[in-house]
Structures are given as structure tokens and as C-alpha cells.
Amino acid sequence: MVEDPSLTAKYPDGIPTIIEVTMRSGARQSVRVDYPRGHRGNPMTDEEVEEKFRLQTQGLLDGDQQAKILELAWELDKLSDVRRLLEATVIR
């Protein structure tokens, strides 16, 4: 891994990254991403956010608890008290 100061200078507006792979044959492939998935310049869909949450909490929370947290989180702006959301996050 090598830092490229010209890419670092673009942070935090973007998080530019270049990945270059050299094959055994000597052929090289390169890809540049300026805004990784989830960055405001490349936002995730609601479905992707939910999938990521479920994957990140797999083995910690059961499906019902994951669903309850997601339900409350998506309605956060309508909750009169966030205590319900906080209580839902307690690992049982």
C-alpha cells in the first residue's frame, strides 16, 4: 500500500482509492473509486443499509430484534422518546 498525496488531498470531500493488481502473466488491472459505497457521493439504498445492519449484527441479535431496531430506527424522527430504540439494542 502506498499513499498518493494527490488522492489524500481530496479527503474528506471524497475518499479516492486506486487498486492495482498485477497478474501472474504481468498484465495489470487498475480501478479508481472516488466515493466508496455509503459515502454521500455514492449513497446506499435503504435495502443496502438494512442488509449491512443485518450482516453486522448477525450472531449478536436474532432476526426479530434486528427487525425491531430497524423499524424504530426508520421512524426515529417520529419517536417521542428514543428510549424504546435504545432498549431494543440491548443484546440478550
Domain extent listing, the chain: 1-43, 46-88
**Cα 57 from Cα 25, distance rounded (Å):** 41
Continuous segment of H or E residues that includes residue 10? none
Q: Which amino acid is at 4?
A: D
pLDDT category of residue 87 using cuts at 50, 70 and 90: very high
Confidence (pLDDT) at 92: 80
Show the cell assigned to 28. 495489470
Task: Write the pLDDT tens digit of every residue in 33-63.
Answer: 999 999 999 999 999 999 999 999 999 999 9
Is residue 91 packed enough to be buried (19+ CB in 10 Å), middle (13-18) or exposed (0-12)? exposed
pLDDT in tens, 14-30: 999 999 999 999 999 99
